Amino acid sequence: MKIGTLGIWLVAIVLTASISVSASALYFGVGPFDRSRTKLVVSTTTSLYDTGLLDAIEDRFEAAYPVDVYFISAGTGIAIAYAQRGDADMILVHAPSSEQTFLEGGYGVCRKIIAYNFFAIAGPEQDPTGISGLAPTEALTRIVEAGRRGEVFWVSRGDASGTHAKEKELWSAAGLNRAELRDEAWYVESGTGMGKTLQIANEKAAYTLADMGTYLKYYTDDLISLRVVVDSGRDLLNVYSAIAVNQTYNPEANFGAAIAFIKFLTSEEGQQIIEQFGRDSYPQGLFYPAVQLLKENTNPTLVDWIEEFAYFDGQECPEEYQNDHKEMYG
């Protein structure tokens, strides 16, 4: 069949586009993408999404690679549930114990730690309980005492999020029974995301536990007036990880695109986006890149905290869950 000049020109465009798509995919070592499956669904924690970090990452990733990224934002527990029921190709979360269960259940593979920051206890500007600068467990003990006297409120996420998991750990470490606290009038459960929880705490002049990234955004944008009274330190460490859905568990998962996205997040470019995000708008970085820190051990104390809190059997991803992608763990 003859092809006219216009036809030849159109064929050339298609071939050029095809070569470009394949080259972008091969750059990440995942082979050419099936161009009929260029959608990547990422189930993510609200803190990464609400701050706008993922928008910045998405723009750079989609500009370079043939994948359209869609985010489902929820607390970590719900984000994991979405992936387990086949609604997501990968997860971005911050609850190591739940992540380990996800791997061991056969749902996920190729876990990579991508970033960290710290949780903080935020409260009324006047800090009526006087907990500023105290250790987290001592601060919580004082809040309970003041709450029982009718002087303050505590607002909990009350969901299965990573922030709520950390809160429960802190109550336990303080020797307090959270199940009993839930029945007391001063203890309020929001059942919402981090941003809304901060706003409820602000309205009630209450204390709450927040990830620093979301707190900084809401405070700087004048959405809340709460101030940080307890922050940083080992007990408030907050580690974010990316995990691909195991294609053995869910054959429909877009595994190639998930691996490409994880590799982008851990690449020099991806880590720079994380490091620079928000630095022009906020008094400090909202998140900190973790890859080089862990690889080069540039801060041994912090690395020890991350390994203690977020490693499984001494590794960020045990070998049996690396799914023939050992190049990610060299």
Residues contacting 94, CB < 8 A, separation 6+: 45, 47, 76, 162, 163, 211, 238, 239, 240, 241
Q: Which domain CATH number covers 224?
A: 3.40.190.10
> Considering the domain boundaries, does residue 307 fall inside one?
yes
SS3 of 257-298: the string is HHHHHHHHHHCHHHHHHHHHCCCCCCCCCCCEECHHHHHHCC
pLDDT at 7 over 50: no
Is 243 in the same domain as 230?
no
* Spatial distance between the Cα atoms of 224 and 158, rounded to a whole number of angstroms: 20
Phi, psi angle pair for 211, to nearest 5°: -75, 145
* Spatial distance between the Cα atoms of 252 and 86, rounded to a whole number of angstroms: 8
> Considering the domain boundaries, does residue 263 fall inside one?
yes
- Choosing from 190, 219, 236, the residue where a domain stops is 236
> Considering the domain boundaries, does residue 41 fall inside one?
yes
Structural domain count, the chain: 2
Written as one letter, the residue type at 295 is K
Written as one letter, the residue type at 167 is E
The parent domain of residue 107 ranges over 34-117+237-329
Scanning the structure block, which residue is given the tokens 């505590």? 154
* Spatial distance between the Cα atoms of 246 and 83, rounded to a whole number of angstroms: 10
Element holding 107 (H helix, E strand): none
* Spatial distance between the Cα atoms of 272 and 258, rounded to a whole number of angstroms: 20
Element holding 325 (H helix, E strand): none
Phi, psi angle pair for 244, to nearest 5°: -85, 145
pLDDT digits 0-9 by tens, 153-192 = 999 999 889 999 999 999 999 999 989 999 999 999 999 9
Mean pLDDT taken over the chain? 89
Q: How far apart are the first and last CA of the chain?
A: 52
Is 100 in the same domain as 207?
no
pLDDT digits 0-9 by tens, 269-318 = 999 999 999 898 888 889 999 999 999 999 999 999 999 999 999 999 99
pLDDT digits 0-9 by tens, 48-97 = 998 999 999 999 999 999 999 999 999 899 999 999 999 999 999 999 99
Q: Give the predicted TM-score (pTM) of the model.
A: 0.86
Is 106 in the same domain as 124?
no
